Amino acid sequence: GAGVSQSPRYKVAKRGQDVALRCDPISGHVSLFWYQQALGQGPEFLTYFQNEAQLDKSGLPSDRFFAERPEGSVSTLKIQRTQQEDSAVYLCASSRRWAGANVLTFGAGSRLTVL
Amino acid sequence: KNEVEQSPQNLTAQEGEFITINCSYSVGISALHWLQQHPGGGIVSLFMLSSGKKKHGRLIATINIQEKHSSLHITASHPRDSAVYICAVLPMNYGGSQGNLIFGKGTKLSVKP
């Protein structure tokens, strides 16, 4: 596609519910990143894929968070048993190669509100 | 401890003014990104630089690696420049992950007509 597409744009979940957030990166982009942005804060790194390989998941805050990119294109970030502190905007970005040498293209984000 | 500090946090300017946003960081870096975030969340990448200076239209970004400092300048500011500007660095010793950017908290710019 022309840009990075994220869905849903807005998600309201009850505490304890599982959610899945989807990212469709630019076609051919090798690297895919997930970030979490709390209200009034800068984004924080969650995880990074190079093609289908998850090379870094050090930013995932707990084992309730899981990300996959099985075919090296679309990625899904899954949050199990959501908690109120999970409320944030989840941003996906992709780049042609690796972030240090390439500009990132961001999606519009998925805003999660946990009640 | 904030590894990336931006100043000011908030900035209000009159249309036409020259604007400077600063970013200081405490780690060795491979690259630095300037990003623009509009209300609603969408982020646009403005610049990626590792040395010197880049210019795109009315935007100029500079970096001083020795001083661990970067600035984003906007000339002839316009109300449509109103947004949050975020500085993000890619640490040199990132432990194998090329995606582990460290972000500043952003500078909220409001340009009044």
CA distance B109 to B94: 31
**d(CA B68, nearest CA chain A) in Å:** 17
| Shortest alpha-carbon distance between residue B19 and chain A (Å) | 21
- In chain A, which residues have their Cβ closer than 8 Å to the Cβ of B96? 55-56
Q: How far apart are CA A6 and CA A12, in angstroms?
A: 15
What is the average pLDDT across B78-97?
Answer: 83
Å from A73 to nearest chain B CA? 16
* B23 touching A (Cβ < 8 Å): no
Assign 3-state DSSP to chain A and report helix, strand, coil percentages, each to 5: 5, 50, 50
pLDDT tens for A11-32 read 999 999 999 999 999 999 999 9
Question: In chain A, how many H helices and how many E strands?
Answer: 0, 11
Cβ <8 Å between B90 and A100? yes
Start-end of H helices in B1-113: none
- Band of the pLDDT at A71, cuts 50, 70, 90? very high
Residues 6+ positions from B28 with CB-CB distance below 8 Å: B91, B92, B93
| Chain A residues within an 8 Å CB radius of B30 | 100
pLDDT of residue B30: 86
pLDDT number for residue B32: 92
Which chain A residues have a beta carbon less than 8 Å from that of B33? 103-104
Please determine, for residue B96, whether its predicted confidence score (pLDDT) is greater than 80.
no
* Chain A environment of B48 (Cβ under 8 Å): 102-104
Q: Strand B19-25's sheet: what is its strand order?
A: B4-7, B19-25, B69-74, B59-64, B52-56
Contact A103 B48 (CB under 8 A): yes
Residue percentage of chain B with pLDDT more than 90: 72
User: A108, B101: Cβ pair inside 8 Å?
Assistant: no
> What local confidence, expressed as pLDDT, does residue B95 receive?
52
Rounded to 5°, the CA angle B17-B69-B2 comes to 105
Residue A95: pLDDT band (50, 70, 90) is: confident
Instruction: Provide the residue count of chain B.
Output: 113
Does any CB of chain A come closer than 8 Å to the CB of residue B45? Answer: yes
Q: Which of B47, B100, B105 would you mutate first to test chain A, the one with the most A CBs within 10 A?
A: B100
Confidence of residue B94 (pLDDT cuts 50, 70, 90): low
Give the minimum alpha-carbon distance from A17 to chain B in angstroms, rounded to a whole number: 24
Tens-digit pLDDT profile for residues B18-34: 999 999 999 889 889 99
Picking from A72-81, A87-96, B11-20, B88-97, which range would have the lowest pLDDT averaged per residue?
B88-97
Beta strands, E only, B17-106 = 19-25, 29-37, 43-49, 52-56, 59-64, 69-74, 83-91, 102-103
Residue B52 has pLDDT above 90, yes or no: yes
